[in-house]
Every structure is written in C-alpha cells, then in structure tokens.
C-alpha cells in the first residue's frame, strides 16, 4: 500500500521541494498551506488549505497520515511568538494521527561558537535567540517521543536551490547577472550548504526507513561544504565569465537594525559566516547508504537561473 505524507508549509521553499520529492517517489502527498498554491502542485497531490495554528484543522488534515513534516517557515523576525504555538499545533496533529513527525533542522542549535565539525552528539548551546528557540522545539519533540510520538530531525546547512528566500539568492548571487558575487564572510572559511532537491530526497529515504530508528532521532546531512572563494569560483564556472567579489556591508545592517527588524534578525546570525563549520553525516550514510547528490555545477546552474534571467541583468566586465 502507498504511504501518505502531510507536508506542512508546502508553499515554502523546503515544503515545495518535499512535496515534489515524495510525489516523485510514489507517496500519497497532502500539501498544507495557508493560501492557494503559488504554482501548480504535482499531479495527484492534494492541497489542504488551512492555517497551521488552527490545531483542529491540522489534526483533521493529518488523519490517516503515516508521516507528517513540519516545513513551516514563520516570519524570521517573529520566531519567538510563532514557533512555540506552531510547534504545539504540529505535535497535537502528530499525536492524534500516530504519524512520524519529521523536521528540517539547522545548525543554530550549536550556538554562536559552533565548532568546525558538527555531529549528532555535538553539545547544543542556547546562547543566541534562534538557538534557544530551536533547542526548545527539539526538546519538545524528544519529550513527546517518550509519550509515543515518533520524530526525526534532519539537520542541514544553508539552503540553495528551490526558489528565492535564502542567503544564496538574496545576498550572494543576487547581483550575479550584473557581474558581482557578494560574500557574507571571509573567503577562506568553510560553510555548510544543502541543495534543497537533494535534501528533500534524503527525507524520502529516511522516511522509508523510519522503522529502523529510535523514537526520537537526529541525523545530519553534510550537503556541500564550500569556502566563499570556492563558491565564487564555482559560480563563475557556471556563468562562464569572471565575476567581481564584494563583501556584505554588515556595518550598514547594524546601523539599520534598530529600525528594520529583519536587518536586526540577520545581523544576529553574522556569526555563522565567521565560524568555519561542516556537518558529519556518517550516521545518515549508515542508514540510507549512498546519499542523493546533484553535481555542484548542475545544482548551481539550476539555482542561478532565476538571477540570470532577470530583465535588469547586464553583461559583466572582467
């Protein structure tokens, strides 16, 4: 029998990638979103239009689901007020349905002094607001597992590919059509990246093997680990031309932070670009074997296409 997955936040970048990956793998897919889909859903996918804060509606949507994925992406400036009630609503739906809850995790849990290699047993440090919120969310999932709500966190680096909304397309490659790459940190520091279509296929593979896991599990997905210089060079190779390298003017974000909430939230994450880090995914490989991997240049070509297609793009000068 085909299994059923409910993807919450299906209008978002990770949510849409998950919908497409599970649908392609033959699952029955329900896609929850607050409003009608921004682009047509894959054939056979059922849209569920409701607010994730409406716990009763979410419980109804999850009825009969085997897997429930929390891909909700609340406003970055309102995590403190939105993440806790959303988490409670999602846990209620998982508890009522008996579905395994899956969550796309990130490296925020390791705090502002995160070490260069991150494993599933690396200590978590709640010394930033985002770390505190994510740690609390995952602790709730761990506690719920003791009551029978099985859950899995798959942690990855910064997303690229799958549409706008990440550091890659909003900062680094925003002006690539004008001949410029903007780096948020030093060019020689390694940074963890995850190509969204590959990460989504990892979720499919783990979901298929969820019975082999403990009631609560955390797995790491390494994705691509690249220095700023390596990423710059790879983008140039995909574009077939030289691109100027600029540095993100953090001082401007800091000056505007008291007046622009999103700038304040972004400035608080500056440490991620000043600390070299990569994820160790040995446990994930042990579980699912060979990981989905799109060659870097092909992945970048897909991710860069919207920036290169902008009408205001102009040829670069070497």
Domains of the chain in start order, with CATH, are 4-163+193-225+280-286 (3.40.50.720)
Q: Is the pLDDT of residue 175 over 80?
A: yes
Which of 21-30, 113-122, 123-132, 161-170 has the least mean pLDDT?
Answer: 161-170
The reported pLDDT for the residue numbered 142 is 97
Tell me how far CA of residue 76 lies from CA of 36, 100, 263, in angstroms: 22, 26, 10
In tens, the pLDDT along 30-59 reads 999 999 988 899 999 999 999 999 999 999
Tell me how far CA of residue 236 lies from CA of 205, 245, 304, in angstroms: 33, 11, 11
Buried b (16+ CB within 10 A) or exposed e, 211-228: eeeebbbbbbbbbbebbb
In tens, the pLDDT along 195-245 reads 999 999 999 999 999 999 999 999 999 999 999 999 999 999 999 999 999
The reported pLDDT for the residue numbered 68 is 98
Q: Indicate the Cα dihedral angle 252, 265, 77, 87, nearest 10°.
A: 160
Mean per-residue pLDDT, 250-279: 93
Percent of the chain with pLDDT over 70: 97
End-to-end CA distance of the chain: 57
In tens, the pLDDT along 63-78 reads 999 999 999 988 888 9
Task: Tell which residue, 2, 3, 17, 42, has the closest CA to residue 202.
Answer: 17
| Tally of CB atoms within 10 A around 36 | 8
């Amino acid at each position: 029998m085909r299994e059923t997955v409910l993807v919450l936040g299906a209008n978002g970048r990770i949510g849409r990638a998950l919908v497409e990956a599970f649908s392609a793998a033959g699952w029955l897919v329900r896609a929850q979103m607050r409003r009608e889909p921004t682009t047509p859903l894959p054939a056979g996918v059922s849209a569920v239009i409701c607010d994730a804060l409406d716990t009763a509606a979410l419980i109804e949507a999850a009825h009969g689901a085997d897997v429930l994925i929390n891909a909700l992406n609340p406003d970055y400036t309102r995590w403190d007020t939105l993440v806790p009630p959303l988490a409670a609503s999602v846990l209620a739906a998982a508890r009522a349905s008996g579905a395994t809850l899956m969550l796309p995790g990130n490296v925020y849990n390791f705090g502002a002094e995160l070490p260069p290699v991150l494993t599933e047993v690396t200590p978590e440090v709640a010394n930033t607001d985002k770390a505190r919120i994510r740690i609390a969310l995952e602790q709730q999932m761990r506690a719920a597992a003791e009551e029978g709500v099985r859950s899995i966190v798959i942690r990855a680096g910064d997303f690229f590919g799958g549409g706008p909304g990440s550091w890659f397309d909003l900062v680094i490659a925003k002006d690539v059509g004008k001949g410029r790459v903007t780096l948020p940190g030093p060019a020689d520091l390694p940074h963890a990246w995850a190509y969204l279509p590959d990460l989504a296929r990892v979720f499919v593979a783990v979901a298929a093997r969820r019975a082999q896991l403990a009631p609560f599990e955390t797995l790491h997905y390494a994705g691509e680990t690249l220095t700023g210089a390596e990423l710059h060079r790879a983008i140039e190779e995909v574009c077939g031309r030289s691109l100027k390298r600029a540095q993100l003017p953090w001082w401007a974000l800091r000056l505007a932070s008291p007046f622009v909430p999103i700038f304040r939230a972004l400035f608080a994450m500056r440490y991620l670009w000043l600390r070299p880090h990569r994820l160790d995914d040995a446990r994930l490989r042990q579980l699912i074997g060979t990981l989905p991997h799109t060659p870097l240049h092909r992945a970048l070509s897909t991710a860069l296409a919207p920036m290169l297609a902008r009408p205001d793009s102009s040829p670069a000068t070497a």
